[in-house]
Structures are given as C-alpha cells and as structure tokens.
Amino acid sequence: MDSASETPVVEMLDIVKVFPGVRALDNVSFTVRRGQIHALLGKNGAGKSTLMHVLTGLYAPDSGTIRIRGTVHENLNTARAKQAGIALVSQHAKYIPGLSIAENVYCGMLPMKAGGFVDWKKMNRDAHEKLSHFGLDLDVTRLMEDTTVAERQMIEIARALFADASVIILDEPTAPLPKHDVAKLFEFVRRQRERGASFIYISHYLEEIFEVADHVTVMRNGAVTGTSAVRDITQQELIRLISGANVERYRRAGGNIGKPVLEIRKLARPGVYSGIDLTLHAGEVVGITGLEGSGPGELARGLFGLEPLGAGDIRLQGKPYSAASPIEALAQGLAYLPRDRHGLGIVAIRSVRDNISLSVLKRLQSLVGLIDGGSERKLAEDYIEALGIKTPSINTAVENLSGGNQQKVVVAKLAATEPRVLVLDEPTQGVDVQAKVDLLRIVDQLSQRGVAVAVVSDELNELMDICDRIVVFYRGRIIREFRKGQDTITTARLLAAIEGEMGEKADATV
Amino acid sequence: MQLSKHVPALLDHLIWVILVAVFIFFMTQSPVFLSSTNITNILSAAAILGILVVGQTFVLITGNFDLSTESTLGLAGLIGMFLIVPATAPYWGGGIMLNPYISIVVLLLMGAIVGYIIGALITIGKMNNFIVTLAMLLILRGLIMAFTKGTPISGLGFAPAETYFWLGHKALFEIPGVIKIPVAVVATAAVFVIGHIILNHRRFGRELYAIGGNRQAAIASGIDADARVRQVYVLSGLLAALGGWMLAGRVGSIQANLGEGYIFTVMAAAVIGGISLQGGRGTMLGALGGVLLLSTIDRGLNLMNVNVFWVKVIQGLIIMLAMFIDAQRVRFRSFEKVSQEPAGGQPAASN
C-alpha cells in the first residue's frame, strides 16, 4: 500500500492516437510505480508499440496526459523523454561493435586528460567500477562485438541507469537469448528493481511474466483490456484478456479441398527451421502460427524468394519448386502478401490502377508491346468492385487510402497474377475491424476458386474462423497441427502450443 | 476547399504558365525575341539539352542519378569525328576515315556500353550511383583530354564530315528568312514522343515508376529491378551519345571541353520539369517544359545582353524556385491526404 500512495514514475492518462483508418490508441491509461516490473502484453497490432512510442516521444498523442515523476509533459519529443528518464532497451541493443565495452559505456562523454587526449586508464577503471556497482563484473576492454546478446542488454540497462533513467522499457529482451542467459538477465533485472529501478517489460512469452513481473497490463485493439498484480491473475485469464471476445467475425463455411498443390518435405534452414513437412491442397486455407522468429514468417518469405529457403524437397503441382527471387516464385504460381505493407506491398505514390496491374503488365501488352489501356482499366475496376476497395478513382495514389483498402489493393495485385498458391503474411495487421472481415471473406473466396492458401498470423481467432487446418511452429519446428472438425480448437490450446507445450500436457492445464 | 482542390493540378502544370509568362516578358524586352531566327536558336539549343534530359528522366524515375552524360556526350562526339577524318588530317596523329554511317553506329554503341558499365557497377557491384557516375564523368573527360591533347579540331572541309554533321547542322525544311526547322529539333521531338510512349504505355516504363516509387515492393511484385536499372543507364548513355553526335554537328568542331558543365543544366531542367529526385514521379511532358523554359531564359538573357555571370546566378535561383514549388506540391499532397482521412477510414456499410 505504501508504494501505491507514492507518486507513480510514469502515468499515462486517456491517451488517444489515431492513424489513417485505425484508432491505434483508444483512451489508454497506463501507470508504472517505482520499483515495479510492469509487463505489457498484447498481440502484434494491439497498441503496445504505439503506446511505447508515445512514451518515448516518437509519436505525439492526439489527446491525453503524460506525467513522468509527477511532471506533466505536453510536448514530449524523443530528446525530452530521454531527459525525463525514459529509456528504451530494444531487442537489438544499439551499440558500436568495433569499440570496447568501456568506450561504449562512455560513448559521447569520454573522460579527457589535459590537451584533449582521452584518459583511457580512468575510463577503463571507472567503467568497470560503474558496471560492477550494478553487479556486472566484466572485462571492459573487450570489444562490444565479442560480448553476448545478454551482456549487451545488461550493459545497455546499466547505461540507462547511470543516466538516471526513471523507467526502462525492455522490448522483448529474451527473444534472441538462449535459456541460461534468460535466467541471468532476469536475475540482473530483479536486482535493479531492488535498488528502485522501474521497468516496462514487453514479451510474448507468458511464463516469463509470472517469473519476473510484479504487475501486468494487457492491451487489445488499441485499448487496455485489463491490469492487475501478477499474483492476482492466472495464465488463463491473461490469455482471455489478450485474445478477447471477437466483436465481428467472418466464419468460413468450409471448402472443397482438392489435390495437393504445394508439398514441402523435410525442409530445413540452419538456425531457422528444420524438419518441415507441410502440404497445401487446392481450395484449402491453412493457418500457420507461432512466436515471432519461430519459423512461420521466415518460411513464408523463403517460399517467395525473399529469404533463403533452405534445403528440402518442395513440389508445386508435382513439379520441383524453388525460388531465388519473387520473379521465379510468381512464374511458378506462388504469390505472397507481405507483412510489411508499406515496405514491400504498395508503391504508395503510384495510383490504385498502377499498383493492381504491376505484376501482370506483361499480360496486358498488345502485340506491338503497348499496354492495352482499356484492359488495364477494366482489370483495376473489376478488382475494385470485387474486393470492395474504397477509392475515389482508379487514379488515386494508394497512399491516400486507408490501411484496409491499401491491403485490398495488394491482394488485388496478387489475385491478378492468378496464383495456384497464395501465402498471406499477417494479412489483417493494421487494418480496421470491417476491413479485417472483408479481407477474410476475400481469402475465403479465393480458396473457393481452388487456390491453396496459407495464412501466417498470430490472430488466433481469425485463424480459427477461416482455416481448415492450423499448424503451430515452436522454435523452428512444427510442434502441432489442428484440424477443423477433428481436433478441438480453442485459443487456449493454440496458445499453449505456441508457447511450446506439446499435446496432452497442454490440454490438461486448460 | 475548392482552392485546395485545384492547387495541386495548377502546381503540376505551373511550368507551362511560367513558360508563357517568361516568353511574354522577353517579347517586351527584345524586339527580335519573337523572330524566326531566334525561335530556331532556342529550339536548337533545346534539342541537345532535351536529348540528355530524356535520358536523365528515365534514370531519375528509377530513383538513380547519371552525372556522367556530359562526358559521354563529349567522348561520343569526339570518337565519331576521329573515325571519319582521314589519316592525313593534322589531328591526333590522323583518323581512320571510316564510312560516316559506321562511325555513327560506333559512337552510339560506345554510349550504350558506357551506360551498361555504369548500370552493372551499380546493380551487380552494389556501388553508389552518385559516386559511380561521378567517377565515370571524370574518367571519360580525362580520356577526351588525353586523346585531343587539348587541341580543338574542326572536321569541316572533309566530305564525310558533311554527313556526320547532318543531324546537328542541317535543316529539314527551310524558307530562308521565314522558317527553318532543324533536323535536330525534329529528332529531339521524336525522342520525347518515344520517351513518353515508353514511360506511359510500355511495361518497361511503368516498371520504372514502380522501382522509383518503392524498389522493394517492385521487386516483391516480380519486377527485375536490377535489370531495369541497367537498361535505363544504357538508354541514358545511348541518348548522351546521340546528343554528342548532334552537338558536334551544331558546333562544327570538337574540343576537349565539349559538353563540359552541361550536367547542371540537365539536372535543373529535369527538376524544374517536375521529375522527382526521389524517383517514382515525373512525366516526359514536364521534362519538356523544363527544357524549353531553361533554353528560353538562356536565350532571352543573352539577347538582353545580361552578363554571363548573372545568367548563372539567375539559373541557380530558378532551380531553387523549382525546388520550392516542388516542396509546396508535396505539402499540398499531404494536405489532401489529411482532409481525405475521415472518408477513407470510414468502413463501408454495404459490402
């Protein structure tokens, strides 16, 4: 009760942030107290990152109040947030690889001797002293590039603490760490908490929350769905808060599943995934899910030639399949909807028409090599109509459309290539509820036409609604497969599998 | 609201409004400005500039630069000349007196090869386009100097040179004192038309816009971006060589500094014409406007006897003004976007 009466370190009240077509933060309130490890949970796109971007001054909120150590900050920018004591330690800590630990610790404020020379001795001594003060006994003359990821993160946290940080945001710190380093990092973080440091802890691994956090806040669709002391909540309740009850859903009736179209056998890419056996059938929608970095996204990009695919036997309609580039993938009938819509999906400054026809210009050419303007216009108009793309005209630049309509434009571009296999990577990310429903309907319709569809996503409700099968990756392997109609598919069971629990054991805990 | 609707369209075509204004201004300043000789002069100057700007436009639309074209132009003019003068000619230890048609083919081929080398260094060698083309600018200029040893040479008086000079020198149609249509002007006009067709109506051109607009997305749409970039540099080199051939004929002699300093005007014309340096935006028509505007101003100031140093200052100011207008265009675009948000973000009820 004592700590509750104290002024919170961070207090965010009724924060609203709107992006074109999406209410990214909808009256979000979030409080971190001194000496607290506060876990922030939610799926991709739930609003966690946006909230943290507001706190670190990267995004200006549309409304709401931010108090840091009791002071209201109205025009927070990254410099002011840093000054106020907000520090971000990202999964990939920022450091200068070619310099020593000591130099990195002192970066920008190297101790000087008379005449403007760096006082190396003092620097190394002080750096070692400072780090050991935080319980880090390291040889500070080692190069930063020779340290482990966990060491880098701890150094980064220590640096933030030297700078008198009020609260340190840890963004999925354990994702790149081996198991024993996770324990070390937790031990370090707990020790700093005892000294009064506060942390915001973002992670997808639920068991970690119970291991390290004191308090937990869950977000979903831009709003807080619950906040509680960790000791007062169960894993099941957390899961329910994370997934929520869907407001609007599109349910696929079930498809006419035909012959195998894409057959993957014993596919392995060292360090990424191994032993992948997966078959996609004509007219089938297969969901692929798993934690970030556990394989589904890498497999999707690999199949489309954007990443190395690894070694194994892959056949598309019976013929050996390999793709060193998207050109080869498309030529063999495999199209891919990228997760990064702005980076890989749309050419934002060009028109809706130009984007839709981009992959099929060759087909639209007449005998003399000129693009048939009439056919191109018809192609664009047909897809605008069929997919319900809301646009003032076919000549409107795609950047002027909402996120959902941009995504539909990308789907139109893919559908125009008339693929045999469609791989969709987080197709509903960053689009509003209605567009989500529309997109799922479109996916269903494409599969009804005999396209084999794979949906990579961690929107479990959506996968359950439209997929005939859901395969779950865990650390580079397919750990479980759920078949609609044969297996009982619940969010809890899926999440358990995603977190690495196998078969019966997972069922028992639910 | 009504105003904001029309402002972007106005800004997009502002170049033509300015061109007309500039024309009227010079008409009031100089009685001979509207004479047929003067118009022919403007168009002849615009012809050579235009050829280079068309090539540059292709490169810029992909989001790249080509600084080397003025040197390619110089070297092409020189090689063409060297190939046709006889061995007895008192220049560079003598030429090889080839058929002028062969020499023209060789010089065009040279331009294409230079372009291919640049494109390969950028796409296969993963080198920075600015540095590669800057280096090529220096290398080719150095070669020209080494070759001519700094002596200006005239090809006039040799029979084959007459054929060689045809493109830059002759008129396609002429009523003395009334009208003169130089071959170069017609050729450049044709190049602009072909350029426009390629950009808008051929797969190649449309893919260039996508590459410049978002290279990664273009690649993910099945476009061979590296191949397109190489092809664009080949085109740029080829057109620079064509410009060299044209300029050699217009000047009638070859000097070591043929085309030197031209690249600034080329870039200025493209930018003034609305070609985005970020890539993905711009039209041939706009580029043509930029070329005509700069040529007109250049000629007009000349007629007004404005000191050449001030001409440079004025050109610089015009480029700044063009960039200012471009910045406003971007601002209006984002303004447009914001005002559309509620409509765009509203999910449709009837789907």
Residue A27, Cα to own-chain centre: how many angstroms? 22
Sheet holding A285-290, edge to edge: A334-337, A421-425, A452-456, A285-290, A469-474, A477-483
Nearest alpha carbon to residue B298 among B52, B12, B48: B48
Query: What's the pLDDT score for residue B344?
Result: 34
Query: What's the pLDDT score for residue B350?
Result: 33
| DSSP-derived secondary structure letter, A81 | H
Averaged pLDDT for residues A231-259 = 79
Averaged pLDDT for residues A352-366 = 94
Report pLDDT digits (tens) over B236-260. Answer: 999 999 999 999 888 877 788 888 9
Q: A411 near A431, Cβ under 8 Å?
A: no
State phi, psi for A395 to the nearest 5 degrees. -95, 0
B330 contacts chain A (CB < 8 A): no
A52 CB neighbour count, 10 Å cutoff: 19
A6 contacts chain B (CB < 8 A): no
Burial A369-386 (b: 16+ CB within 10 A, else e): eebeeeebeebbeebbee
Q: Which of B5, B201, B216, B221 to mutate to test the interface with A (most CBs of A within 10 A)?
A: B221
Reduced 3-state DSSP string for A451-469: CEEEEECCCHHHHHHHCCE
Averaged pLDDT for residues B75-85 = 87
Closest chain A residue to B345 measured between Cα atoms?
A: A21
Q: Six-digit token pair at B113?
A: 């090869």
pLDDT band at B341 (very low <50, low <70, confident <90, very high): very low
Which residue reads 């630049």 in tokens?
Answer: A397
Q: Do B220 and A433 touch (CB under 8 A)?
A: no
Averaged pLDDT for residues B102-127 = 96
Report pLDDT digits (tens) over A372-405. Answer: 999 999 999 999 999 999 888 999 999 888 788 9
Q: Do A361 and B224 touch (CB under 8 A)?
A: no
Averaged pLDDT for residues B109-127 = 97
Of A329, A345, A362, Cβ closest to residue B203: A362
Q: Is the pLDDT of residue B29 over 80?
A: yes
Q: Where are the alpha helices (DSSP H) in A268-348?
A: 296-303, 326-331
Query: What's the pLDDT score for residue B176?
Result: 82
Q: Which of A306, A325, A358, A413 to mutate to test the interface with B (most CBs of B within 10 A)?
A: A358
CATH code, B260: 1.10.3470
Query: What's the pLDDT score for residue A156?
Result: 86
B217 contacts chain A (CB < 8 A): yes
Show Cβ contacts of residue A129 under 8 Å, excluding neighbours closer than 6 positions.
Answer: none
Give the structural domain span for B40.
Answer: 2-338
Taking the CA atoms of chain B, what radius of gyration do you get in angstroms?
22
Region for A369 from its dihedrals, namely left if φ exceeds 0, alpha if ψ lies in -120 to 50, beta otherwise: left
Write out residues 63-92 of B within 8 Å (CB-CB) of A.
Answer: none
Query: What's the pLDDT score for residue B174?
Result: 84
Chain B residues closer than 8 Å to A304 by CB: 220
Chain A residues closer than 8 Å to B227 by CB: none
A401 contacts chain B (CB < 8 A): yes
Domain count, chain B: 1
**Distance of alpha carbon B147 from alpha carbon B81, whole angstroms:** 12
CA atoms within 13 A on the CB side of A254: 3
Residue A477 belongs to what H/E stretch?
A: strand A477-483
Averaged pLDDT for residues A237-256 = 75
**Separation in Å, CA of A15 to nearest CA in chain B:** 20
Best-predicted range by mean pLDDT (A47-51, A153-157, A158-162, A445-449): A445-449
Query: What's the pLDDT score for residue B98?
Result: 80
Q: Is the pLDDT of residue B20 over 80?
A: yes
Q: Where are the alpha helices (DSSP H) in B98-214?
A: 100-123, 129-148, 159-169, 183-201, 203-213
> Considering chain A, what percentage of its residues have pLDDT values greater than 70?
94
Chain B residues closer than 8 Å to A379 by CB: none
Q: Do B213 and A349 touch (CB under 8 A)?
A: yes
Alpha carbon distances (Å) from A504 to A493, A501, A507, B57, B154: 10, 9, 5, 65, 92
pLDDT band at B333 (very low <50, low <70, confident <90, very high): low
**Distance of alpha carbon A395 from alpha carbon A413, whole angstroms:** 15
Chain A residues closer than 8 Å to B223 by CB: 327, 358
Q: Six-digit token pair at A408?
A: 């539909």
Show Cβ contacts of residue B46 under 8 Å, excluding neighbours closer than 6 positions.
Answer: B185, B188, B291, B292, B295
Query: What's the pLDDT score for residue B88?
Result: 66
pLDDT band at A247 (very low <50, low <70, confident <90, very high): low
Write out residues 172-201 of B within 8 Å (CB-CB) of A.
Answer: 197, 201
**Distance of alpha carbon A156 from alpha carbon A144, whole angstroms:** 11
Q: Which position has the higher pLDDT, B233 or B95?
A: B233
Q: Is the pLDDT of residue A441 over 90?
A: yes
Closest chain A residue to B350 measured between Cα atoms?
A: A388
Query: What's the pLDDT score for residue B8?
Result: 62
Q: Which position has the higher pLDDT, A410 or A184?
A: A410
**Distance of alpha carbon A281 from alpha carbon A241, whole angstroms:** 34
Look at residue B45 and tell me if it is in a domain. Answer: yes
Look at residue B275 and tell me if it is in a domain. Answer: yes
Query: What's the pLDDT score for residue A5?
Result: 58
**Distance of alpha carbon B298 from alpha carbon B314, whole angstroms:** 9
Query: What's the pLDDT score for residue B239?
Result: 98
**Distance of alpha carbon B175 from alpha carbon A460, whole angstroms:** 80
The CATH class, in words, for A1-85+166-245 is alpha beta
A393 contacts chain B (CB < 8 A): no
Write out residues 98-137 of A within 8 Å (CB-CB) of B.
Answer: none
Q: Six-digit token pair at A180?
A: 């024993």
Query: What's the pLDDT score for residue B90?
Result: 58
Q: B322 exposed, middle or buried (CB, 10 Å; 0-12, 13-18, 19+)?
A: buried
Q: Is the pLDDT of residue A245 over 70?
A: no
Q: Do A371 and B201 touch (CB under 8 A)?
A: yes
Chain B residues closer than 8 Å to A370 by CB: 197, 201-202
A417 contacts chain B (CB < 8 A): yes
Q: Is the pLDDT of residue A1 over 50?
A: no
Query: What's the pLDDT score for residue A412?
Result: 97
B219 contacts chain A (CB < 8 A): yes
Of B210, B337, B340, Cβ closest to residue A347: B210
Burial B96-134 (b: 16+ CB within 10 A, else e): ebbebeebbebbbebbbebbbbbbbbbbeeeeebeebbe
Q: Do B344 and A402 touch (CB under 8 A)?
A: yes
Best-predicted range by mean pLDDT (A135-149, A215-229, B216-230): B216-230
A354 contacts chain B (CB < 8 A): yes
Q: Do A390 and B344 touch (CB under 8 A)?
A: yes
Query: What's the pLDDT score for residue A15?
Result: 94
B341 contacts chain A (CB < 8 A): yes
First to last CA, chain A: 33
The CATH class, in words, for A260-347+419-509 is alpha beta
Chain B residues closer than 8 Å to A344 by CB: 216-217, 220
B272 contacts chain A (CB < 8 A): no
In chain A, what are the domain boundaries?
1-85+166-245, 94-164, 260-347+419-509
Q: B209 near B200, Cβ under 8 Å?
A: no
B334 contacts chain A (CB < 8 A): no
Domains A1-85+166-245 and A260-347+419-509 share a fold: yes
Report pLDDT digits (tens) over A284-323. Answer: 999 999 988 899 999 999 999 999 999 999 999 999 999 9
Q: Which position has the higher pLDDT, A3 or A453?
A: A453
B281 contacts chain A (CB < 8 A): yes
Q: Which of A353, A399, A402, A422 to mutate to test the interface with B (most CBs of B within 10 A)?
A: A402
Chain A residues closer than 8 Å to B341 by CB: 20-21, 402
Closest chain B residue to A356 measured between Cα atoms?
A: B221
pLDDT band at B336 (very low <50, low <70, confident <90, very high): very low
Averaged pLDDT for residues A400-416 = 92
Q: Is the pLDDT of residue A4 over 60?
A: no
Q: Give me the sign of the Cα torsion angle B249, B252, B255, B257.
A: negative
**Distance of alpha carbon B13 from alpha carbon B185, whole angstroms:** 23
Q: Which of B200, B202, B203 to mutate to test the interface with A (most CBs of A within 10 A)?
A: B203
Closest chain B residue to A353 measured between Cα atoms?
A: B206
Closest chain A residue to B339 measured between Cα atoms?
A: A400
Q: Which of B123, B214, B335 to mutate to test the interface with A (most CBs of A within 10 A)?
A: B214
Nearest alpha carbon to residue B84 among B74, B94, B71, B93: B94
Show Cβ contacts of residue B159 under 8 Å, excluding neighbours closer than 6 positions.
Answer: none
Query: What's the pLDDT score for residue A27?
Result: 92
Nearest alpha carbon to residue A417 among A350, A366, A361, A340: A361
B340 contacts chain A (CB < 8 A): yes
Q: Do A343 and B197 touch (CB under 8 A)?
A: no
Nearest alpha carbon to residue B133 among B233, B37, B29, B52: B233
A390 contacts chain B (CB < 8 A): yes
Look at residue B349 and tell me if it is in a domain. Answer: no
Look at residue B161 and tell me if it is in a domain. Answer: yes
Of B213, B216, B347, Cβ closest to residue A344: B216
A404 contacts chain B (CB < 8 A): yes
Look at residue B343 and tell me if it is in a domain. Answer: no
B342 contacts chain A (CB < 8 A): no
Q: What is the ipTM of this complex?
A: 0.85
**Distance of alpha carbon A402 from alpha carbon B346, whole angstroms:** 8
Of B213, B345, B348, Cβ closest to residue A347: B213
Query: What's the pLDDT score for residue A153?
Result: 85
Angle between helices B159-169 and B69-84 (to 10 degrees): 150
Report pLDDT digits (tens) over B174-206. Answer: 888 788 899 999 999 999 999 999 999 999 999
Residue B242, Cα to own-chain centre: how many angstroms? 11
Q: Which position has the higher pLDDT, A444 or B157?
A: A444
Average pLDDT, chain A: 88
Q: A354 near A347, Cβ under 8 Å?
A: yes
Q: Where are the alpha helices (DSSP H) in A326-422?
A: 326-331, 352-357, 361-364, 373-387, 403-416
A375 contacts chain B (CB < 8 A): no
